[in-house]
């Protein structure tokens, strides 16, 4: 079984998007093929196209928030049928036999299949594959495919951090940055039961923050000392090197600052920022398949939805430029 894939490819770093066609290899026994209807655009996609991480393979098809319908399944796929609506995120497979996979922490599998680093094979295409069907997450009937797409990376990354750090409904939490990740984090945390503060340097986002469920908004350009000792959990969703001691100071004792954004350079942290108050600094990846399943259930129950800007395929370059400039309110989605 094989199929002709039409994909939006770039041939070299920063190069223009061109439509290509290629014949996909025969489907492996655990693989599923998904006919893509929607794919979110993440800043990592722009970074991959621009080879910002020095790890891109060209020709490159980006896209790792793909939603569509299962169009073919491998011979040993036992739990997914052709015709099911599913999403494929930044990870499309894992070995399911290493220590981390056996522990249910497949995001730590050393042999996991990163959709974003495959070269060809991303979600900006007519078809995308999960190399293991357990990485094709069914989408609830009540959720549109355009709304589901941003959950597959932006949503999963923040939801996973909330789950992994055992954030409790009684916690006071802060979200640094109101963008693709942040606007979902605010909704998740508000429905989690927490007191939620958005910290942003863009004062104009105050109203959006409050409408999304935040209880408070702090304009970081005015300083944060008023918030010292306030938060049990601070989630940084920005890819910027901030004055981290200032942010660690906003934590209550035993609080955690969880870092999701990658940036160049090093964080500078005074040891007493961690020692006094026994504070924690932690980094996070996207979660395992079990987390994707509970993440899809939670927004369904709580009417959590991303705010999206939908672009037709022909406008993908414009969508990417918008992401490069950080202007989407709050996530760009390509409709195929």
Residues that bind its own copies in the complex, under the rule CB under 8 A = 100, 105, 107-108, 164, 245, 253-254, 259-263, 265-285
Q: Note whether 105 and 128 are within 8 A (CB).
A: no
For the CB of residue 182, give the shortest distance to its own copies in the complex, in Å.
Answer: 17
Cα(308)–Cα(328) distance, integer angstroms? 8
For the CB of residue 172, give the shortest distance to its own copies in the complex, in Å.
Answer: 12
Q: Note whether 261 and 235 are within 8 A (CB).
A: no
The pair of structure tokens assigned to 225 is 């000392």
Cα(306)–Cα(147) distance, integer angstroms? 6
Cα(284)–Cα(289) distance, integer angstroms? 15
* Cβ-based nearer residue to its own copies, 45 or 147: 45
* Cβ-based nearer residue to its own copies, 253 or 312: 253
For the CB of residue 46, give the shortest distance to its own copies in the complex, in Å.
Answer: 18
For the CB of residue 158, give the shortest distance to its own copies in the complex, in Å.
Answer: 14
Q: Note whether 291 and 314 are within 8 A (CB).
A: no
Among 188, 195, 232, residue whose Cα is nearest residue 215 = 195
- Give the CA diameter of the chain: 62
CA distance from start to end of the chain: 23
* Cβ-based nearer residue to its own copies, 39 or 257: 257
* Cβ-based nearer residue to its own copies, 11 or 267: 267
* Cβ-based nearer residue to its own copies, 268 or 327: 268
For the CB of residue 264, give the shortest distance to its own copies in the complex, in Å.
Answer: 9
* Cβ-based nearer residue to its own copies, 48 or 136: 48
Q: Note whether 146 and 226 are within 8 A (CB).
A: no
For the CB of residue 214, give the shortest distance to its own copies in the complex, in Å.
Answer: 24
> What does DSSP say about strands 32-41 and 231-236: parallel, antiparallel, or unpaired?
unpaired
For the CB of residue 13, give the shortest distance to its own copies in the complex, in Å.
Answer: 20
Distances (CA, A) of 51 to 39, 118, 159, 196, 312: 20, 13, 27, 35, 24
The pair of structure tokens assigned to 128 is 């995308």
* Cβ-based nearer residue to its own copies, 9 or 106: 106
């Amino acid at each position: 079984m094989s199929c002709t894939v039409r994909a939006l490819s770039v041939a070299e770093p920063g190069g223009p998007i061109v439509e290509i066609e290629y014949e996909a290899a025969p489907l492996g026994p655990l693989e599923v093929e998904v006919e893509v209807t929607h794919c979110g655009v993440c800043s990592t996609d722009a970074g991959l196209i621009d080879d910002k991480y020095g790890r891109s393979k060209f020709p490159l098809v980006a896209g790792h928030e793909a939603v569509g319908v299962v169009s073919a399944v491998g011979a040993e796929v036992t739990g997914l049928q052709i015709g099911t609506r599913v999403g494929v995120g930044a990870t499309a497979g894992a070995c399911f036999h290493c220590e981390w996979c056996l522990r249910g922490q497949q995001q730590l599998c050393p042999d996991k299949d990163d959709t974003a680093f495959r070269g060809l094979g991303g979600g900006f295409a007519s078809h995308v594959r999960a190399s293991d069907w357990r990485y094709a997450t069914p989408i609830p009937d009540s959720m549109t495919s355009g709304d589901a797409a941003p959950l597959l990376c932006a949503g999963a990354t923040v939801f996973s951090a909330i789950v992994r750090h055992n954030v409790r409904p009684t916690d006071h939490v802060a979200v640094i940055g109101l963008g693709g990740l942040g606007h979902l984090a605010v909704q998740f945390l508000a429905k989690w039961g927490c007191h939620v503060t958005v910290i942003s340097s863009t004062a104009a986002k105050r109203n959006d923050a409050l409408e999304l469920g935040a209880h408070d908004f702090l304009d970081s350009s005015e300083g944060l000392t008023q918030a010292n000792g306030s938060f049990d959990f601070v989630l940084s969703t920005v890819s910027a090197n901030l004055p981290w001691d200032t942010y660690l100071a906003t934590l209550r004792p035993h609080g955690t600052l969880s870092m999701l954004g990658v940036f160049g350079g090093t964080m500078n942290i005074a040891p007493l920022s961690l020692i006094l108050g026994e504070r924690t600094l932690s980094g996070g990846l996207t979660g395992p398949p079990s987390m994707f399943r509970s993440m899809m259930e939670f927004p369904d129950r709580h009417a959590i939805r991303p705010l999206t800007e939908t672009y037709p395929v022909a406008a993908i370059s414009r969508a990417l430029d918008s992401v490069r400039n950080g202007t989407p309110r709050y996530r760009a989605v390509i409709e195929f």
